[in-house]
Amino acid sequence: MPLQNRVDPFGELFADTSRGELFGNRGGRFHTDERTLTRRRWVSRTWICCVLEFKNRQRDVWGRFYTELFFLDEVTALAAGHRPCFECRRKDATAFAEAWRRAFKLGATPRAGEMDDMLHRERLDRRAKRRHRRTIDDLPDGAVIALEEGALAVAGDALLQWTPASYTARKPRPRSGTVDVLTPPAILAVLAAGYRPHWHRRADALSLSAPP
């Protein structure tokens, strides 16, 4: 049986046999010795997303240390409120922080803790996922919204249907209206300032396909 270690754009943890393209954690361990979840869903405000392989390190998933989590791609991780790791994804994390500086017109690149504090306020409403009402016209590529059919990622003039294994369908992006956005506002600003997240390999083919 797969562990309940996959993360969806709503920030929820679920079990699935498909493998994500990134992994990460939420600041420590919140699973039991029997490899099941406790009631907690994070340990600290440090929610990061990492590469699957780094310096030949071997991990015992849900072993003695932190609770490993897996994401379809970075777009999913950002929607859930995770940011790039400064250790294994130094280049991406630096680009993310620099885009954050530009977005908020800061005099210096922000520290990880500063970003984590803001993201923690924006990603949660107590224990639940916080949603943010925004005009769909203004959303940058890589934002994820919630509609009746589930989570959809913004990619140019298209919306891509999210599933645990891939993006599976393309629909035209509406020209106006407000929607529930899952991606925290600070990350929307970072995306708008030029940060380019890692997409699942299926996204490119769907983005370039003709509308249905």
Mind listing the pLDDT tens digit for each residue in 141-171?
Answer: 999 999 998 999 999 999 999 999 999 989 9
Classify residue 116: in a domain, yes or no.
yes
C-alpha closest to that of 73 among 84, 63, 65: 84
Classify residue 25: in a domain, yes or no.
yes
Classify residue 1: in a domain, yes or no.
no
Confidence band, pLDDT 50/70/90 cuts, at residue 208:
low
Residue 34 has pLDDT above 50, yes or no: yes
Q: Which residues contact 126 (CB under 8 A, 6 or more apart)?
A: none
Classify residue 66: in a domain, yes or no.
yes
Query: Domain count of the chain?
Result: 1
C-alpha closest to that of 77 among 145, 28, 9: 9
Classify residue 186: in a domain, yes or no.
yes
Q: Structural domain of residue 112, as residue ranges?
A: 6-208
Confidence band, pLDDT 50/70/90 cuts, at residue 53:
confident
Strands (E), 37-173: 48-50, 69-71, 83-84, 124-125, 128-129, 132-135, 144-147, 150-155, 158-162, 167-172
Q: How far apart are CA 144 and CA 153, in angstroms?
A: 4
Classify residue 160: in a domain, yes or no.
yes
Q: Which residues pair with 153 in a beta bridge?
A: 144, 160
Kindly report the backbone phi and psi dihedral angles of residue 196, in degrees, each rounded to the nearest multiple of 5, phi listed first: -110, 110
Residue 103 has pLDDT above 90, yes or no: yes
Q: How far apart are CA 95 and CA 159, in angstroms?
A: 25
Q: How far apart are CA 18 and CA 147, in angstroms?
A: 23
Classify residue 106: in a domain, yes or no.
yes
